[in-house]
Amino acid sequence: MLEDLSSGFIELKKDEVLASVKSRIERGDEALKILEDAHKAMIAVGKKFQEGEIYLGEMLLTAEIFKEVLALLEPQLVDKRSPEARGSVVLATPKGDIHDLGKNIFATLLSSQGFKVYDLGVDVDPSLVVNTVKEVKPDFVGFSALITTAFASMKQLTDIFEKESLRGSFKLMVGGGVTTPILKDHIGADFQSTNAMDGVNYCLKIMAEKTSQNCV
């Protein structure tokens, strides 16, 4: 069994990575812990890319391995208790960014906790986000961003939200590898994280506060 998923990803040893994940599932390792290790492996891949040690094509192949790992973990990640509807979330990777692995994880974890997720995909035009927000009136809007060039389109979107008096009707979250508290403040978001589970816990906390306010 591979002790270190990162080397398996970097060396594109798909069969070994998948076999290792399967045996960890069988021995009862927590799915979230395995996911965290796969996430770290992707960060290591990114570093190799940045250092010029691997190329774009190889980075793409590691993304395919990651998708297969996620498919193996999904049955463990999804809560089978069919929880009551807890709230709704519009999710998008904004214009200029095509990364979606983290967004998809966040969507899966939110759905498993009973949230209705409207996943608008990648490289999403601001008008689609705005129209969807007007139509479904979500409790949350989430942006997933992995490259800095997407910052401008997120700012553009939040300016539109303000201009159209939509901003007060939902909590705005931003997450993904390149996001920071500074970015959160820059675009006026309510929450920022590079961990999908933290995002889910934030949504659960806000919905619990809303419910207790309605009971008073």
32 binds ligand B12 (CB under 6 A): no
Is the Cβ of residue 64 or residue 135 nearer to ligand B12 in the bound state?
64
Query: What residues numbered 167-186 form the site for ligand B12, per CB under 6 A?
Result: 173-178
The only residue of 18, 25, 32, 63 in contact with ligand B12, by rule CB under 6 A: 63
43 binds ligand B12 (CB under 6 A): yes
128 binds ligand B12 (CB under 6 A): no
Answer whether 33's CB lies under 8 Å from 5's CB. Answer: no
Is the Cβ of residue 24 or residue 39 nearer to ligand B12 in the bound state?
39
148 binds ligand B12 (CB under 6 A): yes
Length of the chain counted residue by residue: 216
Write the Ramachandran bin of 130: left for phi over 0, alpha for psi from -120 to 50, otherwise beta.
alpha
The only residue of 73, 88, 100, 133 in contact with ligand B12, by rule CB under 6 A: 100
How many residues bind to ligand B12 according to rule CB under 6 A?
A: 37
Is the Cβ of residue 11 or residue 216 nearer to ligand B12 in the bound state?
11
77 binds ligand B12 (CB under 6 A): no
Neighbours of 108 (CB within 10 A): 20
73 binds ligand B12 (CB under 6 A): no
142 binds ligand B12 (CB under 6 A): yes
162 vs 11, 123, 204, CA distance in Å? 47, 22, 25
54 binds ligand B12 (CB under 6 A): no
105 binds ligand B12 (CB under 6 A): yes
Q: Least distance (Å) from ligand B12 to the CB of residue 202?
A: 7
8 binds ligand B12 (CB under 6 A): no
Q: Least distance (Å) from ligand B12 to the CB of residue 72?
A: 15
Q: Which residues pair with 87 in a beta bridge?
A: 115
Q: Return residues touching ligand B12 (CB under 6 A).
A: 39, 42-43, 45-46, 49-50, 56, 59-60, 63, 96-103, 105-106, 142, 144, 146-148, 173-178, 193-196, 199
